Amino acid sequence: MELEAVSLVMASQLLVSLLVSHWVLLSILKLFKRSAPPLAMISSQNLLKSFWVSRPTFLSERELEICYSYIVLAAPTINLHRTPIGGRNFECYSEDPYLTGSLASAYIKGVQSEGVFATAKHFAVNDTEFERFTISSDLDERTLRELYLAPFQQAVREANPGCIMTSYNQINGVMASENSHTIKEILRGEWEYDGLVMSDWFGAHSVAGTANAGLDLEMPGPTRIRGEKLVAAVKAGEVTEETINERARKVLELAVKAGKFEDPEEKPEEGIDKEEHRQIIREAGAESIVLLKNENNVLPLDASKLKKIAIIGPNAQQAIVMGGGSASVRTHYTISPFEGIKNAVSTEVELAHALGCYTHKWCTVLDGKMKTKDGENGVAFEYFVGSGFSEFHSRFVQRSSRIWLFDGLPEGIDGKHFSARLTTLYTPETTGNHIIGLASSGLSKIFINGEEVIDNWTSQDKPGIFFDSGSAERTATFQMQAGEAVEIVIEFERSTHPRDLPAIRFGIVEEMNPNIIEDAVELAKTADAVIIVAGLNGEWETEGEDRATMQLAGKQDELISAVAKANKNLVLVNQSGTPINMPWVDDVPSILQAWYLGQEAGNAIADVLFGKVNPSGKLPTTFPIRIEDTPAFINYPGDNGHVHYGEGLYIGYKYYDVRKAPVLFPFGHGLSYSTFEYKNVRVNQPTLEADGTITVSVDVTNTSQVDGKEVVQVYVHDKVSSLHRPLKELRSFKKVNVPAGQTVTVDLVLDKYALGFYDDQQNTWVAEQGAFEALVGSSVTDIRGKVEFELTNTAKWVK
C-alpha cells in the first residue's frame, strides 16, 4: 500500500505541479485517447497509478506540451482599495466589496461563456504591495468576512470561477497558500467551492501545509516544494493518500471541464485584430471615463468654434493604456490622446503640443521609436542556445523595449539557460546629451555605435525593478545628434537565480529643456482651448510596490497651476488607476478621470471631450483630499512584518460617511452633459420575507436636451442592528439610458444578501428582522430619495 501511495503521490505532484510548465498532462490525455476507459469510469487514483505504471519514462518535453493559458485566464483581481496608494489598485475594481463582487461575477461569467476558465485572485486580504511576499494582514473575523472575503464569496455564489489563486501574504500569521481557515474551512467547506485552487507564482512555501490546506496547484512549474518532498511527507504520515487524491482530482476535473481529454493538442497562440473588437474597446473606454467637474460647461468642446487647441502634458503624446506588472498585455496598436484629438477634429483646427514637464521614473521606453536594420518597427531579437552567443537559434522582432523572456520562448530554447542579443536603430529628435538606461533580470550590457556604455553584467544595483528581482536601472550619458541614427546593441544572459523571471528594460531620455513649463504656459496663452493630459503610468502604478504618495509624478502640479492661470478655457484629463492629490482643483474648471483605457484610449478620450459620447462613468473609489485623511493611514504599511487592519469595517466611503469627513470627490460620483431628476422612490411591497426579494423603483427624468446615461445606486441602512454597521452600504446599482426629456422607471432588486452582516459569535451571516431604509442616489453623498421596508423574519446563511 505504501508503494502505491508513493506512486500516486509522485504522479500527482507531477500533474499538479508541472501543468503550467507544459509537462505530463498531454501525455495523460494522449494515453487515454488511445487506450483508456472514459474518465468517469475510473477514480483519479487508478488513473494516476495506471499512468505511472504504464509510462515509466517520459516522452520528449515538446511532445508533452500543453499550454495552461489556453485553459485558464489568471484574472480578475478582486482585492479592495484599502488605501489609495496600493500598487495594484489599478487592476482591482473598487473600495466596496459588493461592487467588486458584482463586477467580478460579470467578468467571470463573460470569460467562462467562451470556454476559458477565470481565476479570482488574490485570496485573500492582499491589499498592499509592501513586503508582499511576507507581510501578515492581521484583522478580526468580521472584517475578514464582510470586506475582504465578500467579493470572493459573491463571485463563487453568482459565477463559480473555475479557479481561485491564493495571495502571497500571510493572513493572521499563516501564509495564504496554506491557510486552512480560509481555503479548507471557508472556501471549500462553507462555500462548497469545487474548483481548482492554485498559488500565486512562487507563492507556495510548505509541502504538507499547502496540500493539507487545499492548495491543488503549485505555480509555476517545475515544482519547488512538492516532488520528492511531497513523497517524503506521505511516507512520514504528514499528508494522506486521500489528500493527494483530492488535489490531483481537481486538476483532472479542470482538464475534463475544458474538454482537453477530447482535444488535447496545443493550439497556436493568436492575436486577432478585428474592427468589432476595436469598437467595443473604444465604447467601453469612453463609458468608463468620469466627469469629475465641469464649471461653466467647458465640456463638451465645440471644435467648429476653435481655431487652435493646445494639448499639453507628459501623457498627451504617449499612449498610456495600462498599469505595470503582470496585468500588462500586448496591444495590437495604441492611440495617444493627441492622436485621438487629431482624429476627432478637422484639419482646419491647429493642434499644438508641449510636453510641459518630465515624469519619467526610469528612462523612457522606446516603443514606436525603434527600427531594425531591415526597416521594421522595433528591435531585432536573436536567441542563442546556452551562454556565449555561439550557437544561434532564431530571430524575431519585438516592438517594445520592455521585454519579458519567461513566456513564449521559441521551441528548442531552454528557459533556464540561454542568451540573447538585441539590436535596433534609434534616431533622436534633439541634439545634446541623452541619458540611456538599462535594467535586467539577468546579466546585460549595452553598446551604442559599438561602444560599451553600461555594464550590468559584472555587478548590479538593487533593488530590482522586475517584481523585486533583477537589477535597478543603471544609466549613462551619450552625445547624440538630431536626425542621426545610433545603433543600440544589448547582450543578455539568463540569470541562474530560480526566482528571477528573465527580463530586459532599456530607454532614453533626450536632452531636457530647463524652460519646459514656461514654454507650455506660453503656448497655452495662444490657444482657444487647452487640454492638459496628466497622470501616472505603469512605472508609477505597478505590481511589486505601492505608490509613495498621492502626488502626481514630476512637476505636474506646478505645470497645471501655471497653465490654469494662463488660459481659463481649460480641461484636465487625468490618467491614473487611483486617486491623486489635486491642489489646483479650484483653478481648473473641467476635470476628466480617464483611468487606463486600453489601445483605443486616445479615441475614447476624444469622444468624450467633443461630445460624441456623453460621459456616464461613476467613481468606484473615494477621492480623498489628502492621504492623511484616509482610514488606513495610521496603520499603513505595517511594522515587523505585520499590518493591522485597525479601521475594521470602515474603509472608503463607509469611513468618511460615519465621520462626516469631507472628500475631494465621493464614491459613486460622476457628472454628465445631461441633468437627471429622481422622483417617486418606492418599493413594490412594504415587507420582505427572509428568502424573498423586494424591488426598489425610482423614476429618472432627463431634464436636459442631451441623451444620457445614469448609474442609479441603492444603499441600504439597517435602522436597528444588534451589531455596529456602516451608515449605508451599496447593495444594488443599474446603468440606464434616458433620452432627452423622457422619464425611465428603474427597478432594483434587494434580497437577504443586501441586508446581512457577519456575526462572528454565531459564525454565520445574519439579516435581522426589523426596519431597513433603501437610499437611492447618484452617489453616496447625493441621495435623491429613500423608502422604508421591513424584514419579517431573521435569515441566516453561510454560502
The single-letter code of the amino acid at 470 is: G
Cβ partners under 8 Å of residue 272, min gap 6 = none
Instruction: Check whether residue 234 and residue 154 sit in a common domain.
Output: no
Please state whether the peptide bond connecting residue 615 to the residue before it is cis, i.e. omega within 30 degrees of 0.
no
Structural domain including 550 reads: 281-355+516-617
Q: Which residue has the cell 478585428?
A: 274
101-114 core/surface letters (b: 16 or more CB in 10 A; e: else)? bbbbbebbeebbee
The CATH code of the domain that includes 391 is: 2.60.120.260
Work out the mean pLDDT of the chain and round it to a whole number: 89
Measured CA to CA, the distance from residue 145 to residue 147 in angstroms comes to 6
Measured CA to CA, the distance from residue 136 to residue 173 in angstroms comes to 5
Instruction: Check whether residue 613 and residue 532 sit in a common domain.
Output: yes
N- to C-terminal Cα distance for the chain?
Answer: 38
DSSP state at residue 240: -
Measured CA to CA, the distance from residue 796 to residue 799 in angstroms comes to 10
- Any domain includes 169: yes
DSSP state at residue 22: T
Q: Model confidence over 557-574: pLDDT tens digits?
A: 999 999 999 999 999 999
- Any domain includes 77: yes
- Any domain includes 502: yes
User: φ, ψ for residue 143 (rounded to 5)?
Assistant: -65, -40
Measured CA to CA, the distance from residue 617 to residue 323 in angstroms comes to 19
Instruction: Check whether residue 100 and residue 209 sit in a common domain.
Output: yes
The CATH code of the domain that includes 75 is: 3.20.20.300
Measured CA to CA, the distance from residue 576 to residue 562 in angstroms comes to 21
- Any domain includes 636: no
The pLDDT of residue 406 is 72
User: φ, ψ for residue 197 (rounded to 5)?
Assistant: -115, 125
Instruction: Check whether residue 411 and residue 536 sit in a common domain.
Output: no
> What angle (nearest 5°) sits at the alpha carbon of residue 226, between those of residues 220 and 230?
165
- Any domain includes 270: no
pTM: 0.89
- Any domain includes 133: yes
How many distinct structural domains can be found in the chain? 5
Measured CA to CA, the distance from residue 791 to residue 755 in angstroms comes to 9
- Is 494:417 a contact under the CB 8 Å cutoff? yes
Closest CA to 73 of 111, 113, 17, 110: 111
> What angle (nearest 5°) sits at the alpha carbon of residue 320, between those of residues 519 and 563?
25
The pLDDT of residue 39 is 29
SS3 content of the chain, % helix, strand, coil (to 5): 25, 30, 45
Instruction: Check whether residue 132 and residue 255 sit in a common domain.
Output: no
Regions of the chain with pLDDT less than 70:
1-70, 407, 497-499
Instruction: Check whether residue 120 and residue 178 sit in a common domain.
Output: yes
In 75-134, the DSSP E strands lie at 117-123
Cβ partners under 8 Å of residue 727, min gap 6 = 654, 657, 658, 717
Q: Which residue has the cell 514654454?
A: 519
Measured CA to CA, the distance from residue 521 to residue 560 in angstroms comes to 9
Cβ partners under 8 Å of residue 560, min gap 6 = 532, 534, 572, 584, 588
Measured CA to CA, the distance from residue 486 to residue 504 in angstroms comes to 19
- DSSP for 591-649 reads EEE-----TTHHHHHHHHHTTSS------SS-B-S-GGGSTTGGG-S-BTTEEE-TTTT
If phi over 0 gives left and psi between -120 and 50 gives alpha, with beta otherwise, what is residue 641? left
751-780 core/surface letters (b: 16 or more CB in 10 A; e: else)? bbbbbbbbbeeeeebbbbeeebebbbbbbb
- DSSP for 704-760 reads SSS-EEEEEEEEEEESS-SS---S-EEEEEEEEEE-TT-EEEEEEEE-HHHH-EEET
Cell of 383: 536567441
Instruction: Check whether residue 685 and residue 780 sit in a common domain.
Output: yes
Instruction: Check whether residue 179 and residue 45 sit in a common domain.
Output: no
Instruction: Check whether residue 394 and residue 490 sit in a common domain.
Output: yes
Residue tagged active-site, from 96, 200, 500, 557: 200
Instruction: Check whether residue 475 and residue 491 sit in a common domain.
Output: yes
Domain boundary among 617, 632, 653: 617
- Any domain includes 589: yes
Q: Which residue has the cell 446581512?
A: 756
Closest CA to 82 of 146, 125, 132: 125
Instruction: Check whether residue 80 and residue 213 sit in a common domain.
Output: yes
- Any domain includes 290: yes
Domain boundary among 236, 263, 290: 263
* Other CB atoms within 10 A of residue 131 CB: 16
632: exposed, middle or buried (Cβ count in 10 Å: 0-12, 13-18, 19+)? buried
Instruction: Check whether residue 778 and residue 726 sit in a common domain.
Output: yes
Question: 200 catalytic, yes or no?
Answer: yes
* Other CB atoms within 10 A of residue 435 CB: 17
- Is 437:477 a contact under the CB 8 Å cutoff? no
